[in-house]
Structure 1
Amino acid sequence: MPKDIRINTEAWVIKIGGSLCDSKYLVQWLNSISEYSSKKIIIVPGGGPFADQVRLADKKFDLGVYAHHMAVMAMQQYANVLASLCPAMALTHSAERTHQIWVESKVAIWEPYEMVRNQCTLDQTWDVTSDSLAVWLAGKLGINNLLLVKSSKQVLEETDLDSLTKSKCIDATLNKLVNANKINLNILHKSKVSDLQSLLNTH
């Protein structure tokens, strides 16, 4: 892995929730993030409607570990949706490719399947969703800053991770991973696009 993407206190992982797929805010977020292409930013996609189909299939067929693989592939599909909506960004499947995208002053969009399948040792269950994988990726790339963009109105009122875990606003593994990786975690509601500027400029 290139040395200069390790322990980067200025870079950001930004996880765009799959629930934004049908939201008017999705393109607003992508356009706003693209304005910071000079920063080192990598977007982690949620699973969106693709993951919903995996959940339905899992309930019907009890897919076990295969449900996890399929859910990660759902994230990959959503990544391509995001890339199609914002051509100025570039897809990445590796740390090396991410580094090259940053050198080109572009925002990266993570296609997670290859790295997760070959390098990730987290539990392969529904307790590990794109939330936790965003933290895992941050640790893998040496990035301290993570932003989760959520649709749940709960994040407008509180950011206590235990409460958000109990309500399933975030997955069951995220809190532990954030503490273990010493991540600077931020959570914004999808309507708070205007808060992005101050957030990125203060870190």
Structure 2
Amino acid sequence: MWVVKIGGSLSHDPALREWLTRLWEVGGGRVVIVPGGGDFADAVRQYQQEWHFDDLAAHNMCLLAMAQYAIMMQGVVPELVLASNESRIRRALRDGRVAVWVPTDLMRATPDSMTNWDTTSDSLAAWLSTSLNAERLMIVKSCEVEANAPLETLAADGIVDRRFPAYVRDANYIVEVFSKDDASVMRDRLLNVAV
């Protein structure tokens, strides 16, 4: 199973449709898509600055932001299956479908290590990859990504979140970060490991 996190920065980019379509075409039964937060999460930042509520509320609102992006993705490619927990994800994959994670089960009543702005959808994708025992985690960004750049460098440059390198340090899956222009690379990889 592969987890493919598609950054919210692609929410206004034609590349989004290409990624979703290619994942649907060749990833059935093997791919779980993790949505970023995009404009929806940016609105949470603005509201937090205006109203000064705590990071716990912001965390829960950002999970809903990711859920909105997930619903939008399914609106773009209706064959994708929305799934809010592991059993629904696994059911979608067993049915030969591509799942889009709706992370509302991670909403919290009390703060924990995830309820802060250093932990974004990148780290949540790593958390899900570990939970699902994924083989590979692919992070898709709208910016150019230097091939084989160290994750610590990508975190320092703001390309992935600051906690991401720690989340995947001991991962038993492959971690790759891609530019939005690399959809064909992902497609070729999926086809080359077809079962």
- Structures share a fold, TM > 0.5? yes
SS across alignment from 2:91 = helix
Q: Tell me which residue corresponds to 2:57.
A: 66
Q: Tell me which residue corresponds to 2:83.
A: 92
Residue from 177, 182, 191 that aligns with 1:187: 177
Q: Tell me which residue corresponds to 2:150.
A: 160
What does 1:142-161 correspond to in 2, within 5 Å?
Answer: 142-153=133-144, 155-156=145-146, 159-161=149-151
What is the distance in 1 between the residues matched to 2:147 and 2:130? Answer: 28
Shift of 1:157: 5.5
CA gap of 1:193–1:117, structure 2 versus 1, over 3 A, is same
CA gap of 1:137–1:116, structure 2 versus 1, over 3 A, is farther
SS across alignment from 2:11 = helix
Q: Is the 8 A contact 2:32 2:101 kept in 1?
A: yes
Structure-1-length-normalised TM-score: 0.88
- Structure 1 regions of 5+ residues with no counterpart? 1-10
SS across alignment from 2:113 = coil
Shift of 1:73: 0.9
Spell out structure 1 runs of 4+ moving beyond 6 A: none
Q: Is the 8 A contact 2:81 2:97 kept in 1?
A: yes
Matched residues, number: 191
- Structure 2 regions of 5+ residues with no counterpart? none
Q: Is the 8 A contact 1:92 1:108 kept in 2?
A: yes
Of 30-39 and 138-147, more deviation after overlay is shown by 30-39
Shift of 1:159: 2.1
Q: Tell me which residue corresponds to 1:6.
A: none
The AA in structure 2 aligned to 1:28 is E
The AA in structure 2 aligned to 1:136 is W
What is the distance in 2 between the residues matched to 1:86 and 1:147? Answer: 20
What is the distance in 2 between the residues matched to 1:52 and 1:115? Answer: 19
Q: Is the 8 A contact 1:90 1:108 kept in 2?
A: yes
The AA in structure 2 aligned to 1:169 is I
The AA in structure 2 aligned to 1:91 is L
Q: Is the 8 A contact 1:135 1:183 kept in 2?
A: no
Structure-2-length-normalised TM-score: 0.91
2:24 aligned with 1:34, yes or no?
yes
Q: What percent of counterpart residues are identical?
A: 32
SS across alignment from 1:180 = coil
2:46 aligned with 1:56, yes or no?
yes
Shift of 1:202: 4.9
Of 193-202 and 179-188, more deviation after overlay is shown by 193-202
